[in-house]
A and B are shown apart, each in its own frame.
Chain A
């Protein structure tokens, strides 16, 4: 599969990052997993992916990190049309109501996962969100049927008559 969408996990604690990435391993056949431990690094990933022609499908972002917060990063990203279709998920144990409201209103946050998370919850969220992304951006979503939300993708294909 060429130019797989990227799932970017922005999390500063290595143990937590390891755990998230391992929980996301089932998505490897249809997405490339990238990790960043701070916002500057995340920007490098965005640049590298852009250069390689890989779209950013989903960003999983912790809130509290050195430098700017996860919410700030997502808000900044919202200004960039290149990431208009990117699904944004906050995964955090620390965001207060104010930050969360801001993330929803200004960064168009799609989902919020509270730490500690369960594998089922995380995988269900990523499956749903990535399916949304794929249906919105991919001409041919067929290769994603096996790993993402198959029935939904099939329904979509049937409805749009794009079955190839």
Chain B
């Protein structure tokens, strides 16, 4: 016999004692119910099955699980306890879990009626039974909390992995955009080089023809009866320093006062004459009416100034072509020593049309050549200058600074535009970041991500400092960077 104890005292007894007591009481009250056996990995009952009683596990281990999405999800194995079919007993009548043995087991199966009978006969059994139930429930609910925590942790891991995947995808997309953009740039470079090359022939021919024309005209002046005047007018036009429209008007007004004739004054100024004595001397060498002679002087002069304009403009085109070729001297297979100043000058030359209202200040120090790809570095200057001009809306001061510092060549591109908002500063090197809405000038301003990419492939780095009225991009390139630099388009 067992001494009678209170429920609270029972609750403090070790599991084994309480469980042994439960089995002893059931044996006593129900006349030693039969011990049943089951092998390992056998199903004791299945979810939804009507149990009609409880199972008391005497030896061995079982697990309680459910099938979720055709997968076995184990809810309890260590936390099963000795009493099975608890939820069925508590009013559900049907088994809540599947129960499968892990090891061979020995158990008692007690029907509801028998259990009820036994409980009615023994207050002691009631206490022990209650204790076992409470402990089982406590263990299982603890387990549920743990499961919940596990689910949370898993979810967190999942979220982390999902973020990592999203990041990888973004990086892949960035890498792809970079590739596409550099391909585009390389294509443009080749195109530009091709066009520059094609332009060389016509511009050489124009240049030479202008010289031939000049030589022939000068020879002609020696043969014509009025050649002396022609020659002088030609020479005046060719060497004439171009006047501003304002100066020209001032001369016309001054002459008009002397001559008291607006039309005549206009004609003289157009013929490059500002001195009436000059005019008188020249017209005496000609024949015909005064109007004819004035017109003749004007024609001689215009011949010269047309020739001068052809020569000046064709030289400008030749300069542009040279810059374009220098600029797109792109992507030689091997890195070579690059003259940074040459690259900056070529780039500026190609921006001539946007630099009309911009004061360009060059603070160039004596710097050694940088080892790298000239064409790619020119893209860096192009992007930085294009951005600066965009920021200033093509009007303001652009300062280019070069210096050598601690074995590095530093190139700074500075503008006095409104500055980059602090919120943008950390994002400007991102691939997709752009403040211009679909505005692309000849594929320039491809973005600072490409700039950074090129600079870092040259072993350098790029930084930005910006406040309203002063934005400086600094590119640092190592001087003695002699190892090979991967080209963008390995052939």
A-side residues, CB < 8 A to B, are: 12, 14-15, 17-19, 22, 34-37, 41, 44-45, 48, 64-67, 94
Contact present for A14 and B242 (CB under 8 Å): yes
B-side residues, CB < 8 A to A, are: 242, 244-246, 248-249, 302, 305-306, 309, 312-313, 353, 356-357
Contact present for A37 and B245 (CB under 8 Å): yes
| Residue numbers in B under 8 Å from A48 (CB-CB) | 249
Contact present for B246 and A15 (CB under 8 Å): no
| Residue numbers in B under 8 Å from A18 (CB-CB) | 305-306, 309
Given A12-B356, A37-B244: A45 in contact with B309 (beta carbons within 8 A): no
Nearest CB on B from A6, distance (A)? 12
Q: What 12 new A-B contacts, CB under 8 Å, besides A15-B313, A34-B245, A36-B245?
A: A12-B356, A15-B309, A15-B312, A18-B305, A18-B309, A34-B249, A37-B245, A37-B246, A41-B245, A41-B246, A45-B249, A94-B353
Those 10 A-B pairs whose CB atoms lie nearest each other, nearest first:
A15-B309, A14-B242, A35-B245, A37-B245, A66-B357, A36-B245, A66-B356, A41-B246, A41-B245, A15-B313
Question: Bound complex: CA of A14 vs CA of B309, how far in Å?
Answer: 9
Total A-B contacts with CB atoms under 8 angstroms apart: 37
Q: Which residue of A lies closest to B313 (CB)?
A: A15
| Residue numbers in B under 8 Å from A94 (CB-CB) | 353
| Residue numbers in B under 8 Å from A14 (CB-CB) | 242
Which residue of B245, B249, B306 is within 8 Å of A17 (Cβ)?
B245
Question: Bound complex: CA of A37 vs CA of B245, how far in Å?
Answer: 6
Contact present for A35 and B309 (CB under 8 Å): no
Q: Which residue of A lies closest to B395 (CB)?
A: A67
Question: Bound complex: CA of A19 vs CA of B306, how far in Å?
Answer: 8
Which residue of B248, B309, B356 is within 8 Å of A64 (Cβ)?
B356
| Residue numbers in A under 8 Å from B357 (CB-CB) | 65-67
Contact present for B246 and A44 (CB under 8 Å): yes
Q: Which residue of A lies closest to B308 (CB)?
A: A15
| Residue numbers in A under 8 Å from B302 (CB-CB) | 22
Q: Which residue of B lies closest to A8 (CB)?
A: B245
Contact present for A19 and B309 (CB under 8 Å): yes
Question: Bound complex: CA of A31 vs CA of B242, how far in Å?
Answer: 24
Question: Bound complex: CA of A126 vs CA of B245, how far in Å?
Answer: 21
Nearest CB on A from B378, distance (A)? 22
Nearest CB on A from B24, distance (A)? 97
Nearest CB on B from A8, distance (A)? 10
Question: Bound complex: CA of A94 vs CA of B242, how far in Å?
Answer: 24
| Residue numbers in A under 8 Å from B309 (CB-CB) | 15, 18-19
| Residue numbers in B under 8 Å from A66 (CB-CB) | 356-357
Q: Which residue of A lies closest to B310 (CB)?
A: A15
Q: Which residue of B lies closest to A44 (CB)?
A: B246
| Residue numbers in A under 8 Å from B312 (CB-CB) | 15
Nearest CB on B from A2, distance (A)? 11
| Residue numbers in A under 8 Å from B242 (CB-CB) | 14
Nearest CB on B from A9, distance (A)? 9
Nearest CB on B from A135, distance (A)? 25
| Residue numbers in A under 8 Å from B246 (CB-CB) | 36-37, 41, 44
Given A15-B313, A19-B309, A22-B302: A41 in contact with B356 (beta carbons within 8 A): no
Which residue of A19, A35, A65 is within 8 Å of B356 (Cβ)?
A65
Question: Bound complex: CA of A17 vs CA of B248, how far in Å?
Answer: 12
Question: Bound complex: CA of A45 vs CA of B302, how far in Å?
Answer: 24
| Residue numbers in A under 8 Å from B248 (CB-CB) | 35
